Amino acid sequence: MNCWYCQVNQENWVDAVEKTMYCVTSRHTETKYLGTHTTRAAQYSRETVRIPRCHACKVDERMTVIWAIAGGVIGLFIGASLANLLEHRPLADPGSGDLLYFVSAVVAAVIAGYIAVQIRNARAAGTRPKRIHSTKDFPRLKELKAAGWTSDAPSA
């Protein structure tokens, strides 16, 4: 079978994506302790959907995450340093509960993470597997979702 994501490479068994889906079959209330307590319980079916993936697609995904995190961490420092400069504070004293400090660090982290992923995409273009499909396009997952199944275990 070919990899679902690039549709070109042979799938690699250990690199498959597994998604467990749930569907409530019945809900009921149980009475406990001589009628002093009631608890709600749900019964559900589950199905684990296995999506074939090749090793190249798995590595590609992981590299994108690594670039995003690395960019985010760098951005966090830049944002925090800028806030410090604006407030003429030494770096060792970020000041607790400082909104400007927090907001600028988070905004810079998100922007830098985004830029890092764009750089990564540009660098990897040509060598990386072309991603044709995404996880949510997988036919069995679409079928189950259409039938009311969810990816979270149902609560009582």
The secondary structure of 66-130, three-state, reads HHHHHHHHHHHHHHHHHHHHHHCCCCCCCCCCCHHHHHHHHHHHHHHHHHHHHHHHHHHCCCCCC
Phi and psi, residue 147, nearest 5°: -90, 10
Q: 5 or 101: whose CB is closer to Zn ion?
A: 5
Q: What is the DSSP letter of 142?
A: H
Query: Which residues between 11 and 70 bind Zn ion (CB under 5 A)?
Result: 54, 57
Closest contact distance (angstroms) between CB of 130 and Zn ion is 9
What is the total count of residues that contact Zn ion (CB under 5 A)? 7
Query: Which residues between 118 and 137 bind Zn ion (CB under 5 A)?
Result: 129
Closest contact distance (angstroms) between CB of 120 and Zn ion is 17
Closest contact distance (angstroms) between CB of 131 and Zn ion is 8
**Binding footprint of Zn ion on the chain (CB under 5 A):** 3, 5-6, 9, 54, 57, 129
